[in-house]
Amino acid sequence: MSVSTAASGQTICAPLPVLGRDVTVPLVTGGEVTYAALDYAASAPALQRVWDDVAAYAPYYGSVHRGAGYLSQLSTDLFENARRTVAGFLDCRPDDQLVFTRSTTDSLNLLARALPADCQVFVFETEHHASLLPWQDARVSYLDAPRTPRQAVETLERALADRDPYGPALVCVTGASNVTGELWPVRELAAAAHAHGARIVLDAAQLAPHHPVSVQDLDVDWIAFSGHKLYAPFGSGVLAGRADWLQAAEPYLAGGGASRRVTRREDGGVAVEWHESAARHEAGSPNVIGAYSIASACKALTEAGFDTLVARERYLIEKVRSGLAEVPEVRILSLFGDDAPRVGVISFVVEGWNSSHFAAALSAEYGIGVRDGLFCAHPLVRTLLGSDPQTQGECGAPEAAPGEKSLNAIRVSFGAGTPDEHVERFVNAVKELVRNGAKWNYRTEDGRCVPAV
């Protein structure tokens, strides 16, 4: 295994093998280059280990639960073993339930459907839309963006102190921002929630791929995350945590698998007895390959060792941040400041550039894939850009004139599969674009900035 050496002298191990690491893409200026995938915060490439595990299982694919055949029995065992593996990865409590879903968004919408009557929800405006929006049918208190971790805890404590002390309450918070990469004080927020009789759900979509996540150590009531950000290749997710609200709620979807017993009533209708296990919210044929791929990713990350993965990521973060700091026109977006601990997610704007134009040039002229826009966290990005929170603007639209402030930013994100060369090429490309400008002309097409033909 190859190694790099950090400025501190610490040995940094090579990236984990991922799919697509040798893919080449054409450049508008001619020729081809190996693609630098630096959009991990949206979807991380699948680990080669995960893909190999899924390929080995694929010939044995069969229906899950209740099937009498060998392949059905094998698939059922694999599905339920995947549930136990993921629960172990999250360090769940013995009586927690783990439900396989389609994504973080699906998981949080499921929990929103399971809220007790008259539940009050507290959520910071800084959340990704997946954790900001599902609570529309509850009494929601949106909390202003904090500027320090301590302020986040104090803001929540004040809001909870003013709530109805007798009704149920839920706090929803991210573990790591999908915009700034900054880590949130989850353990302290959980303590504040519990001190005021509230529960807390952790959106770990950006945290779980980068850091170990323990339900028990963080003392959260639920955790949600997506497989496609955890180096798993299929549309699957997880909601894990306390069983009581989930067992008391109507099934998320009504159908086979969720029902234990269905009978006809004398009035001509049907009577249904629902499962109380995780199956209650897993109606229909489950995504066994998706569940297995998540479990495989959990095993791969655990075996690689999070200490090693975190050390490598910090090395890459320093490479990117120090490189961007050499460009005066670049402003990195942050809530908590330069010294805040963070994962490999960095958003920035470039003076004199529309962000969509800049991201398009990185792709078309350098073969570097980043993201531009508001990152499904519109209130947060508008706060960081200093814009009027009521200002309307299409995410990623490059209509702003050169030099005019636009309501979007550029995000570079990376992780366990990112080689040094990709972040070095990115930093050099930023410097070259700022210094020399784009080599190609670009135009707006369907709200996107694209190379002019």
Give the active site residues: 376
> Mind spelling out the 3-state secondary structure of the chain?
CCEEECCCCCEEECCCCECCCCCEEECCCCCEEECEECECCCCCCCEHHHHHHHHHHHHHCCCCCCCCCHHHHHHHHHHHHHHHHHHHHCCCCCCCEEEEECCHHHHHHHHHHCCCCCCEEEEECCCCHHHHCCCCCCEEEEECCCCCHHHHHHHHHHHHHCCCCCCCEEEEEECECCCCCEECCHHHHHHHHHHCCCEEEEECCCCCCCCCCCHHHHCCCEEEEEHHHCCCCCCCEEEEECCHHHHHCCCCCCCCCCEEEEEECCCCCEEEEECCCHHHHCCCCCCHHHHHHHHHHHHHHHHHCHHHHHHHHHHHHHHHHHHHHCCCCEEECCCCCCCCCECCEEEEEECCCCHHHHHHHHHHHHCEECEEECCCCHHHHHHHHCCCCCCCCCCCCCCCCCCCCCCCEEEEECCCCCCHHHHHHHHHHHHHHHHHCCCCCEEEECCEEEECC
Q: Which two structure tokens, joined as six digits, stand for 382? A: 């508008």
Pick left, alpha or beta for residue 214 (phi over 0 → left; psi -120 to 50 → alpha; otherwise beta).
beta
Amino acid at 297: A
Q: Which of 48, 21, 44 is nearest to 344 (CA)?
A: 44
Amino acid at 198: A
The Cα-based distances of 154 to 148, 191, 217 in angstroms read: 10, 12, 21
Contact (Cβ atoms closer than 8 angstroms) between residue 91 and residue 79: no
Q: Which of 356, 388, 357 is nearest to 373 (CA)?
A: 356
